[in-house]
Structure 1
Amino acid sequence: MLYRYPPLLPKDFYMHRVAHPRRLGFEEANATCEDGVQWILSFFGDCVDTNLKLLGFAVGFVSLLLWLVPLFPQLYENYRTKRCEGLSVYFLMFWMIGDTCNMIGAVLTHQQPLQQIIGVYYIIQDMVLISQFVYYTRLYQANRQGMIAGSSIIVPVFLFGIFGLSSFLPSQTDVLPSVETGFKPGRRLVSDELLSESFGAPPIFDGYKDVAGYIIGSIAAICYFAGRIPQLLRNYYRKSCEGLSLAMFYIIVVANLTYGLSVILETDSTGWIYLLRHLPWLAGSLGCCFFDMMMIAQYYYYTRKNSRAMNILTDERENLLEGGGEHED
C-alpha cells in the first residue's frame, strides 16, 4: 500500500484520497443549485450544473471507487503468504496518520454522514492491514514454533493495529487533527481582505479555521507522500519487492491520476483560486504517482534480477550433479 496514498467526500482542503469536485462557497454560485443534478447535490453536496462539472464529478467518482479497494490485493497477499516482511512499518504509520487526519476533519466539521462513514471505512482498512502486519511478523511465527497456543489468541483485529504498531517504532508520533477548510460564513482573514482589495481577486481563505484546515490538510497530504520513501528504501535494501501486491500499485496510480484530473477539470469551471487551494493535494497526488511508478519499476527489476539469479543457481546445481554422476561412473 504505497500511497495511502490518500485523500473523503466531497473534495475539500483536508481531503486527498477521494476526489469529488465541489464548488467553493466564496464563488458566485446559485445557493439552491436549481440547474444542477439534484441527487448529486443531495448525496455529495456538489452543485453539478454544467457538462464540464459533470465530467469532473464522474472522474472524481471513479477515483472514489478505486480508493475503496486498493488494499484488498495487499490484504489477500498477506493472507496467502502469511508474511508481511515486504511492508515498511513507517509506510503504514504515515498512511494511518493521513487517514486519521481526514476522518477527524470530517467529524469536527460536521460533514455529511456519507463522508464520515467513508472515513471510518478507510481507517478500518488501515487497522486491518496493520493488524496483519503485527500478527504475521510477531504472533504467527511464534505460534508456529509452539511458543503461543493458537487457540488462546482471541483478540479483536483492530486492537493489534492500535497497540501493536507502537512496538515497531522508536518513538510515538502525534496525530494532528484536521479541520474543515471549506467555506464558512463569517469574518475573513485580514490579510485575505487586503489581498482581495489590492488585486481585485477573491480571498483564498475564509477565516482562521480555513487556514488551519489548509495547513493540517497539507500535513496529511505530506504523510501520504512521505510514506513511500521508507517503502522504496526497504525495497532497495532487501533487493526485493516480494510480499507487495503489484495490483495495489496499479489501482493507486489510477486513483491518483483520476483525482488530479478531477481537480483540473473543476479548475476550468471555477477559476485559479480553486487550483491554488487544492495545490498541495494536487502536487502530492502527482508526486505519489511518481513514487508509485518507481515502486512498480522496482518490482519488475528485482523480480527479473532475482529470477535470473535463481536460474543461474539452478543451472550450476544441475551441472554439479551431472559432474558428480559422471565422476562416479
Structure 2
Amino acid sequence: MEEEALTTEWGEWAFQCTQPQPGAIFVPRVKIFSKHLGNNCLSVLKPVCLVFSPPSLPVANGPADSKEEEVRAPLRRSYLDFDPHHFWCWSSFSDYLQCVLAFSGVAGYITYLCIDSALFVETLGFLAVFTEAMLGVPQLCRNYHHRSTEGMSIKMVLMWTSGDTFKTAYFLLHSVPLQFSVCGLLQVLVDLAILGQAYAYARWPSKPVPHTTHPASAKAL
C-alpha cells in the first residue's frame, strides 16, 4: 500500500492505492480534505478496477520482416520520366496538361516550318483523320478483353454511329480527298463492331472473372 499527497488551492488530496497488476487500471481511494468545506468533511471514493486486454503487438523477427510490413508511399509518376511502361499513367493532372501543351507546341512549330511542303500537309491530314477514326478501338479492345460491355453507354455509341455515318455520307457525296472517305468508313465499321459486342455479350454473357487481390491490399485488410 502506497500513499501520496498532493496539495492544491482546493485542499489536500491524499492518494492511497495498491500496486497495479498487468492488464488492469486501478482508480485509487481518494481522501479529500477541503479547506472551503472544513476539515471535518471527508469524501471517500471506493477503488474501482477496470480490466482490459491490451492489444497484441507484432513481434519483429528481423529486419527483413519489418521492411515487408512497412507501408510505402506510391511513387510519383511524371511525363518527364519518359518511361514508356507508365505512359499516360501519371500521378498529377498537371502532368497530362503539360504533356498536351508540349506536344501541341512542338507539332505547331514543325507545321510552321513545313507548311510549304505538300507531302507534309497531306501526311498530317491523313494522320489527323486516321487518329479520329481509331477513337473507338480502345473501347473495342477493352470489351473483347473483359467479354462484357458493362459500364459502357449504348446511347453514346449510337450517337457516335449516327454522326460518323452522316459524316461519311457527306464525304462520299461531295468528292472529298480519298483519305477522308476511307477513314470515315473505318470509323463506322468500328462503331458497328462495338454495337455488335454489346448485343452479343448481352445475349451470351460470359462467366464473371474473379477479381484478383493485390498482395499489398490483402495485407492491409
Tell whether the structures are fold-level matches, with TM greater than 0.5: no
TM-score, with normalisation over the residues of structure 1? Answer: 0.26
Structure having the higher Rg: 2
Which structure has more RCO (C-alpha within 8 Å, separation ≥ 6)?
A: 1
TM-score, with normalisation over the residues of structure 2? Answer: 0.38
Greater share of residues in helix: 1
